[in-house]
Amino acid sequence: MATKEKINLLDVVPFRSTHITTDWDGDCIVISFPRFKYEWMKKFMTPKGLSSDIKVKLEGHGTAVWQLIDGERTVGDIIKELAEHFKEEANYESRVTTYIAQLQKDGFIIYLLPDQP
């Protein structure tokens, strides 16, 4: 059995999943993703009056992080760029890495490893 090599989260590049759309709602970002995977499910299983997309409004810190997830910056780069935004908070680095890990767990982003093209 092959063992997985441990990867430092600060070295990965987060990339927005292709099924996610982004809109502005005042000063915060709203991300949207399909309620169902298949088109036929949207048609037959979406209750009347409900959108076929689920919308999540990000708060101020989440919006700041989301704006920097561009498929080019590493998590470490994002943390460095957010230093001014989080200037009043101690240990914001941990908060940002936890937030990014949760975005990945929920399928909003994927990680590109440093050696992947």
What gap in Å lies between CA 14 and CA 81, rounded to an integer? 15
Hey, what are 69's tokens?
A: 């997830």
Residues 77, 11: contact at Cβ < 8 Å?
A: no
Predicted confidence at residue 15, as pLDDT, reads 94
Kindly report the number of other CB atoms within 10 A of residue 61's CB atom.
16
pTM of the model: 0.79
Return phi, psi of residue 107, to 5°: 85, 10
- Of 15 and 45, more confident: 15
Does pLDDT of 45 surpass 80? Answer: no
Return phi, psi of residue 4, to 5°: -80, 135
Residues 114, 12: contact at Cβ < 8 Å?
A: yes
Domain annotation for the chain: domains and CATH numbers:
11-109 (3.90.930.60)
Position 4 confidence tier, pLDDT thresholds 50, 70, 90: low
- How much of the chain exceeds pLDDT 90, in percent? 44
Does pLDDT of 1 surpass 50? Answer: no
Burial class (CB in 10 A: 0-12, 13-18, 19+), 67: middle
Position 51 confidence tier, pLDDT thresholds 50, 70, 90: confident
Hey, what are 108's tokens?
A: 């909003």
